[in-house]
Amino acid sequence: MKVLVTGGAGFIGSNLVRALLERGDDVRVLDNFSTGLRTNIDGLDVEVVEGELRSYERVHNAVRGTEVVFHLGALGSVPRSVQDPLTSGAVNVEGTLNVMLAARDEGIRRAVFASSSSIYGNQPELPLQETMAPDPISPYGVAKLAAERYCVSFSRVYHSFETVVLRYFNVFGPRQDPNSQYAAVVPLFITAIAAGEPVTIFDDGEQSRDFTYVDNVVAANLLAADAEGASGRIFNVSAGASVTVNRLAETIGRLLDQPVERRFLPPRPGDLRDSWADVGEARRMLGFEPRVELEEGLRRTAAFLLEGKEQ
């Protein structure tokens, strides 16, 4: 099958690209390499189209001739969106609309869109379910929600075009850049604890997250590309469990056999207090099962970051 992965040089995208190649797909990548790394796809048998999601012409050229589009390209990070909501909105909303339009115009069978748990905001009840009314706090969450609605709308009004939305929860794993200005907490904690440096925790550390190993997310994408009855639907993709940021740091310290020193800073604007997903719908409709649990995922991620070994 010929597929396109937007953002295919990014952290999650490059892991998906490898899985697609392993099952024998013909893979094309669209990336502007603003946050994705060329080293993530070096040596892989993929066709690379370099370009911006905000260019319909470039996106259309990348989509042409494919059967399924995995749209992972985005400008991520809640803090970045707070600093620059205009660019965040342009890439994440206009870019997604370009991908959906190009896919529709080219007669693509299905597009799978990577959304975010940030669309929920702070809900009064946990775990988070897809039927809850979204209440995003950050500009990033607002943009992802708008992009979701475009995807669902296209599946309803263009009946030959199928879309599936996956809401990711705090994904971590190999190829996640610990050196980015907006690096995620897991690679930051691993590299800091391994170096004997304090970890920075915003708020009191008792906020909780549903940390999800990247292989689980990749598996959900592969399932979503073919699942019957999934078009126009939205699914949580997570580990289906929550852990506090303090407990995360302690677990990493234990795995690395290193003491953990914490430095606490005030909460950041736009951050959620607690996040925990119900993945029942993904199990029922996609056959999804989060097979790699938190500790195993942390062990694999640490081996990659510290030793360069994939497991």
Any residues with CB less than 8 A from the CB of 238 and at least 6 apart, and which? 117, 168, 169, 170, 210, 212, 216, 276, 277, 279, 290
Marked catalytic residue, from 56, 120, 140, 168: 140
Q: DSSP string of the chain?
A: -EEEEETTTSHHHHHHHHHHHHTT-EEEEEE--SSS-GGGTTT---EEEE--TT-HHHHHHHHTT-SEEEE------HHHHHH-HHHHHIIIIIHHHHHHHHHHHTT-SEEEEEEEGGGS-S-SSSSB-TTSPP---SHHHHHHHHHHHHHHHHHHHSTT-EEEEEEE-SEE-TT--TTSTT--HHHHHHHHHHTTPPEEEETTS--EE--EEHHHHHHHHHHHTT-TT-TTEEEEES-S--EEHHHHHHHHHHHHT----EEEEPPPTT--SB--B--HHHHHHH-----S-HHHHHHHHHHHHHH----
Question: Could you confirm whether 168 is annotated as catalytic?
Answer: no
Q: DSSP string of 105-123?
A: HTT-SEEEEEEEGGGS-S-
Active-site residues, by number, are 140
